[in-house]
Structure 1
Amino acid sequence: MVCRRLLLLLTFALLPQSGLRIAAADLFTQQIAPLLERRCLSCHNSVDRRGQFSLQTQHEALQSGHVVPGQPADSQLLTVITSQNGKAPEMPGSGPPLTPAEVQLLQQWIQQGAPWPADRQLQEPVVSDFSWWSFQPLAEPAVPQFADAAAAAWIRTPVDAFVLQSLRQAGLEPSPAASRRTLIRRLSFDLLGLPPQPGEIEAFVNDPDPQAWEKLVDRYLAAPQYGEHWARHWLDVVRYADTCGYDKDKLRPNAWPYRDYVISALNADKPWDRFVQEQIAGDILYPGTSDGILGLG
């Protein structure tokens, strides 16, 4: 009977400790590791080691002394993420400070012995699947509103309202309206990559048509030089060249069809989705078309 009671007491004595060990392991996996990866690892990893310490592996974290198992007061990690004498915490160096709940989690983890599987190496979080901003659905933000007459006179489109809001937040006001001579030069450099001819400038400056600007934009967009100029940006991205470069710089005799394809696509105002699709799988998605082959480069 006595042995049975002792066995029962021993069982109850061991249960809480076992529960604490499981809770501590779960705490690291579910809370601590994601927190360190999200808020610390971009600076304190095995490569950068800012501040001469890394939190990427258990060995590195313990070796630096920033994490002392069972000793929160001696763990430098808690010191740098906690407000001292009313001053903001030293870390994280970028972004908002850790919340009190996050600090408490780290303190609890260290108090429980800072359990960390020896084979677990932290990794910076990566954007995956469709969580990247460019995959998000389009949203229509609220257009800033202004009550003063100066703003009403300056704003012509909703985009202007956002520009004016940013200017005023920076303590600035819009510049005076540009002259026609300045406008045509800006437009020509932006769309064609070249300055306008003197005759073009004078014709636009003296054009009484209220739609003169809109017509000038349409004419430049329809010019073949538009595609030639803007194709250079895309061709730079895909590393296009007419020659092999380096020391021999041999001509690539069959490279030019792709260059002309890009120019033609821009001048034809080809939709961007098809433009990209043709360059990824044009032979499959658009069989029997010349662009479906040329787009592959």
Structure 2
Amino acid sequence: MKTLLPLALLALFQPPRPVTSDGAQLFEAKVRPVFAARCLSCHKGTQAAANLRLDIPQGWKNVVASGKLLKAVRHEPGVAAMPPTGTKLSERELAGLTEWVRHGAPGPVTLAKPDPAKHWAFQPLQKSPLRSPEGVEAMVEAKRQELGLSRNASAPKSVWLRRVSFDLIGLPPTPSEIENFLGDKAPGAESRVVDRLLASPRFGEKWESLLTMPSAPSAPKRSCF
């Protein structure tokens, strides 16, 4: 007993432990439920009672730093008892709050639940900057410069034509298509190639073959069209 008493006193007066993930878990497990059930009905928002907000960290950190939080929930003299009405906090709830204070009163940014109406999916549509001709390219260029990456050299026209042809119709360009494209010096030559390939029956045939591939060797081939 003589050995345990000094150890108990040392533990009582030791400085607060640094905030860790364990402290945040402690808040979620033992403090948030108490605040939600016993405190936030009066102490949240701009109309909080006694101007004491327990729904934001600055609010509870102020009252914790002053030492009034634990005194109030313990109903000690000199401060207003909390909760002012109803059942006093249980010994288990008090122990949880005390341990949380010893951890430095860690917690989330706010206890307020997010407003579902403010979710991005419910916001009014706005004109996207990507609708401008240089929209996507400008974003890619900005990110490339941010990462310090160098731009790859543009592919030769013959290589570009082969790539886009295989991508869209699954076939290489014919010699005449290569000759026509290399000889097309007018602006928008690439766009005209893409439009031609998209309008080709081969484009639909390629994607039809991919969409109707059997999921297993024994499965029959079924068309999606």
Higher relative contact order (CA 8 A, sep 6+): 2
Q: TM-score, normalised by structure 2?
A: 0.44
Q: TM-score, normalised by structure 1?
A: 0.35
